[in-house]
């Protein structure tokens, strides 16, 4: 619960195959005032955790083993259980084509690596505010 508003904190799933990045993203999500429901290292784990946890936001690395972030994002959008969650893609690919592919897969936002913690916190806050359930 948020101490100031009494509202439940947004629930966030983090998926990145690099442990250091996963820990950094987890830190940023918590700094944004959200609850991390799971932090996983590959695409299949991300999809399973999203279906099990019903997060408000999924932060996905584009390059993961098993299934890419783009594939996971598209699968989330096709599944009625997860279609409504917000998706933030993280990627070393920062070209306009990379961003376009991410948004075409159904992502709500795309943040190129390297990113700042402050920039990630801002994106998470924006997405959970826009995506908050009424």
Taking 90 as the threshold, does the pLDDT of residue 82 lie above it? yes
The answer to whether position 4 is within a domain reads: no
CATH number, domain at 109?
A: 3.40.50.2300
Least confident of 32-41, 74-83, 109-118, 122-131: 122-131
| Residues contacting 122, CB < 8 A, separation 6+ | none
The answer to whether position 2 is within a domain reads: no
Taking 80 as the threshold, does the pLDDT of residue 117 lie above it? yes
pTM, entire model: 0.91
Residue span of the structural domain in which 28 resides: 11-129
The answer to whether position 121 is within a domain reads: yes
pLDDT of residue 51: 96
| Residues contacting 57, CB < 8 A, separation 6+ | 10, 11, 12, 13, 34, 85, 86, 87, 88, 124, 127, 128, 131
Query: In angstroms, rounded to a whole number, what is the distance separating the alpha carbons of residues 65 and 15?
Result: 11
The answer to whether position 5 is within a domain reads: no
Taking the chain, what is the end-to-end CA distance rounded to the nearest angstrom?
Answer: 16
pLDDT of residue 7: 66
Q: In the predicted model, what is the mean pLDDT of residues 42-51?
A: 98
Query: In angstroms, rounded to a whole number, what is the distance separating the alpha carbons of residues 45 and 49?
Result: 6
| Number of structural domains in the chain | 1
């Amino acid at each position: 619960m948020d101490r100031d508003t009494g509202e439940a904190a947004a629930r966030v799933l983090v998926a990145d195959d690099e442990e250091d990045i996963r820990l950094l993203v987890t830190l940023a999500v918590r700094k944004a005032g959200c609850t991390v429901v799971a932090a996983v290292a590959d695409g299949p784990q991300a999809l399973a955790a999203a279906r099990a946890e019903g997060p408000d936001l999924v932060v996905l690395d584009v390059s993961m083993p098993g299934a890419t972030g783009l594939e996971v994002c598209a699968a989330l959008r096709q599944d009625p259980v997860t279609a409504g969650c917000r998706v933030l893609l993280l990627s070393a690919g920062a070209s306009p084509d990379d961003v376009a592919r991410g948004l075409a897969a159904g992502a709500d936002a795309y943040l190129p690596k390297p990113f700042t913690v402050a920039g990630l916190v801002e994106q998470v806050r924006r997405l959970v505010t826009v995506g908050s359930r009424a």
